């Protein structure tokens, strides 16, 4: 299982613009302050943004219920991101070694690759497609920010989906989550699967090691090291 943002790609600029537009459309407020997003789901980012960007005095503070508000935000976020999809190759980048690592793992006998990301499914697919990474991953069995489950539960759910789709026995000790944040390492711990830490995001190598990632790599450029870490 692969995390997407800051593990495989960096599209933060496009994402921030999409967050701002969707937030404005749903709440009528400008997104002035953005919360910490490393390892967070799009729904968590939205509700934390609500708290950080409170209405100005005199504004109409009435809002729909949380579920309705989040549903509207998800629709607007998908639309805002899709409208900017052509900017991804220009304003974003695929991280070094990402496509080589995916291609190499695909050649490992019996390997099945998917994603576990805080991004809603439509936008996750858009990010991967922009850099030609989608062909290496089965998104039908992945976990996304549009799901209602926490990441640890999503890992277990993805394993069940893989068993059903591929008709193969698959145990949690055979699952590896490749990710860049300490929150991702914590999710792997909850699901009792291994996490290979990639220090290409906001978390340092030391922080990833302390959180329980094993091993931790600086980036994905050493393809043989990535394969060895995953298949170990």
Query: Which contiguous run of DSSP H or E holds residue 35?
Result: none
CA distances from 31 to 18, 34, 38, 81, 193 (A): 11, 7, 18, 16, 36
Q: Beta strand pairing status for 216-217 and 194-198?
A: parallel
Q: What is the pLDDT of residues 75-126, one digit of tens each?
A: 999 999 999 999 999 999 999 999 999 999 999 999 999 999 999 999 999 9
Instruction: Tell me the mean pLDDT in the region 7-12.
Output: 97
Band (59; pLDDT cuts 50, 70, 90): low
To the question of domain 93-231 being in CATH 3.40.50.1000, the answer is yes
Predicted pLDDT at 231: 94
State both tokens at 201.
Answer: 């995001």
Contacts with 72 (C-beta within 8 Å, 6 or more apart), sequence order? 26, 64
Higher pLDDT, 108 or 48: 108
Q: What is the pLDDT of residue 177?
A: 98
pLDDT for 2 beyond 80 = yes
Domain ranges in the chain are 12-88, 93-231
Q: Are 187 and 150 contacting, i.e. CB atoms less than 8 angstroms apart?
A: yes
Tell whether the model's pLDDT for residue 211 goes beyond 90.
yes
- What one-character DSSP code corresponds to residue 179? E
Average pLDDT score, the chain: 91
Strand partners of residue 93: 10
- Going by pLDDT thresholds of 50, 70 and 90, the confidence category of residue 54 is confident
pLDDT tier at 70, thresholds 50, 70, 90: confident
Which has more pLDDT, 166 or 56? 166
Residue tagged 């329980």 (tokens): 212
Mean pLDDT of 8-34: 91
């Amino acid at each position: 299982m692969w995390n997407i943002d800051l593990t495989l790609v960096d599209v933060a600029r496009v994402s921030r613009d999409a967050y701002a537009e969707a937030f404005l459309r749903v709440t009528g407020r400008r997104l002035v302050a953005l919360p910490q997003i490393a390892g967070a789901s799009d729904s968590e980012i939205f509700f934390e943004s609500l708290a950080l960007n409170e209405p100005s005095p005199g504004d109409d503070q009435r809002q729909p219920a949380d579920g309705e508000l989040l549903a509207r935000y998800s629709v607007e976020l998908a639309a805002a991101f899709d409208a900017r999809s052509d900017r991804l190759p220009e304003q974003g980048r695929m991280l070094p070694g990402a496509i080589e690592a995916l291609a190499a793992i695909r050649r490992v006998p019996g390997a099945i690759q998917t994603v576990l990301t805080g991004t809603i499914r439509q936008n996750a697919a858009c990010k991967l497609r922009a850099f030609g990474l989608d062909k290496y991953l089965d998104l039908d069995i992945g976990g996304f920010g549009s799901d209602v489950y926490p990441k640890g539960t999503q890992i277990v759910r993805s394993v069940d989906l893989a068993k059903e789709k591929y008709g193969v026995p698959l145990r949690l000790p055979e699952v590896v989550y490749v990710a860049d944040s300490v929150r991702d390492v914590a999710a792997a711990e909850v699901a009792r699967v291994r996490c290979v830490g990639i220090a290409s995001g906001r978390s340092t190598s030391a922080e990833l090691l302390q959180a329980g990632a094993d091993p931790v790599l600086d980036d994905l450029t050493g393809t043989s090291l990535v394969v060895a870490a995953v298949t170990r």
